[in-house]
Each structure stands twice: as structure tokens, then as C-alpha cells.
Chains A and B, each alone.
Chain A
Amino acid sequence: MVRQIKQTPMNWVERLYIFEAFRGLFTTLKHFLRGLFRYETLPTVPYPEIKPEIPRDYRAKHRLMLRPDGTPRCVACFMCATACPAHCIYIEAAPSVDGRIEKRAVRFDIDHLVCVFCGLCVEACPVDAIRMDTQDTSYVHRNREDFITPMYDLTAWDPKQYPQNDTQSQVAPGGSKNQQALEAWGLKVH
């Protein structure tokens, strides 16, 4: 969409500069007084002590979704690895032990130093196995190898930190809907 902005020529009051300067001074004074008397309403936060609120749909660190029995939902179809523009996903497939599913991933590595956080892997996944809604934006390691995040790291998330209406997260072990899901699967409930 093209938005055309009309530039009106300045009238003589504006061209005198001094009145506009006073208007500017008034604006900055408002901001100054806000900072002085309503310090806590400043949009900036003291970062390491107070973390900013990150929305759920922010493309943060990846996680692999889990089935009710705790195995990753990934069927090793290589869609994400194919879609990835940075080629940062490495998958090794193996035959699945479950008869209803053809393949499973035995290795699923994401190199976060190469990843561009475009979210195409999430879009490509046919079984909703990979997501980027962890709200985890800063992860620091001492050497480059540690940034290659393996499967056990990607699946190590706690369902309690995700909203209740996020069914896919809550059916995982430890989630509030795990028992129901296991029953629906026909697995024995302990």
C-alpha cells in the first residue's frame, strides 16, 4: 500500500522558528517531568534485573513438541530442514517403533549460531512438532559447539509454563491434559 504524505509549506509562524522551538521545549519538558516524577512508567526497563515481556508469537528459541507418552512428535520428514534457508537443522531418521508412524528422529540438532530465526521451519512442519514460542531470547554458551542444540535440550520444556488453552503443550507429560490424552490414545493409565 502506498501512502502519500502531503508536505504542506510552513506558514509564517512556523518559519519564525521561535514558536516551534517553544513547542518542542514543551514536549521535552513533558517527557522530562514524566521521567522525574513517574520514573516507573518509562518504557525502558533496567534490563538484567527486570526482563521485558516477550509475546508468545515472538520467534524465540525452538522447542520440539511431545506426544502424551513423551516421545517427540517429529516424524523425520525433513520438511523443516528443507525449508530452512540457513541449513541449520540436522536430522537423522530411524524406523519408528510405533506401527502407526513410519519414521522417528534419533538426532535433531539446531545450530543456533547459524539459525536466522525466520520461522519457516515452524511453517513447514506438517505435524506441529517444532515451535518457536519459548520466549527464550538470550542463551549464552562458552564455545560454539554448545550452541548446537540437541534433541534432549529442545524437548526439555515444562508444560506448566505454557497457557492452559495451548492443548498441544498440555497433552505432553506433566501437562494438565496429559491423562485425558493418554486415555484417548488407548494407553494404560497409571
Chain B
Amino acid sequence: MRLYLKYLSIHIKSQMQYKVSFYLTVIGQFLTSFSAFLGIYFMMTRFNKVDNFSFSEVLLCFAAVLIAFSLAECFGRGFDAFSGMIGNGEFDRIMVRPRNEMFQVLASKLELSRIGRLVQAIIVFAYAIPASGVVWSADKIITLILMIISGVIVFSGLFVIYAALCFFTTEGLEFMNIFTDGGREFGRYPLSIYGEGILKFFTFVIPLALFQYYPFLYLIGRSDNTLYMLLPLIGFIFLIPCYAIWKIGVRHYKSTGS
């Protein structure tokens, strides 16, 4: 919506005021995911394959998850940092404006510095895409794009759940990190390496596998099931429970104040 773009332009203008700090943070972000990459690099050079996935295949998986996460963090920062918004009364200000609250929270922040991670992921893609031996036909490209988009949706959904939980308590939300940061860290490798149980959990409960694993199998030719290519779309359905929890949270806030 046009209003969202106006918000974005204010954020960009704001952050560009602090050019030096911005670039330093971008570099910092880049190096953070670089050490994650180093982890993969050293492990894969020592072991060659894990669960029969090669180094470049793992990199494809890593890069896709990283792009999805960095985009989700960049645009969804309002939810990610929501506990602060409740604490300092900013959410009250949002409630006093005649617009949808969720929209306002989404528009309230734009964390451009996450581009650092994005750049890292693109560089990794630049290496992995040719090296992986995948024949990049139209359907494979579509699969990859769907993987990333669905990843953004699922991570954003997790941020929304975190924010919604902030309405009920600001303590004890650390465990959400398992799914957000954990999803990013452990999602470096195809989720099957963690075993059946974990894979099932991330398929049916928190649909990380729906964008990181099944379509990935299709992508690298491990599976011919075209259904796998479309599974990322189910990630969109994940937003429904996220939205529901958010609504419940707002209702709770309205009856208990802060």
C-alpha cells in the first residue's frame, strides 16, 4: 500500500542519517553470518557429505534460509522487537491511530542493516548455484523463488507469534528463539539430518521444512515429486494461526492494559 511505502521512505531517510554507523552494522551482520558459513565450510571439508548432501547442496540450503531470514528480519523488525514497543508505550500510540494495528507494527520498523546477511547469502548463492550441478530449468527456478518467499512468510509468522506472546508476558519468551534464530542456525543444513522426529515437527508444527527441505529435494533432483515444488505455498497458511494469536493478544492487551 502507498502508506507503507511512505513509512519505508521515512525509515530509509532516518537510517541514512547515520551513514557510518549503518555501514559498520552492515559489515557486522555480514561477519556474523560469515562465521556460520565457516562452520559449514570446516565441517563439510572434514566430512565431505552429511546425510548424503554435498557441500554445494548444503550451501544452497544455507543461502536460501539466510535470505529468507534476513528479509523477514529486515521488514518484520517491528514484531521482532515488539517487547520494547509495549514497554515504552509506543503500542498505545498505535492504538490511538485509525489504522490496523498489525499494519502499523509492521510499518513501524525497517532494519536495513540486515542487508549484511543478505549480501552474504547472495555471495554464497553465487558460488553454490553453479557448483551444485543443478540444471536450472524454469521449474527449478520457480521452486527456489517459492522457497525463499515461503521462508520469509514463515519467519515473519514466527515473529508475529513472538510479538503476540509479548501481550501476555514479557518474560519467558526466550524459547521463541529456538524457532527464529534456531531455525536460521539449524536450518543451515537440510532438516533431515536431525532425524525423523525433528523433521516431522518442522513439517507439521512449524513449517520450516515446507520451504527448506521438501522443495529443496525437488530442486537438487533428489525427488521428482512436483508436489514438493508447491509445498512452500502451504507456508502461507501458517499465517492464519499467527494472525489469530495476534488478535487474541490485542484483545488481552485491551482488557489488561500494560
Report whether chain A binds chain B.
no
Taking beta carbons and an 8 Å cutoff, which residues of B are in contact with A? Answer: none
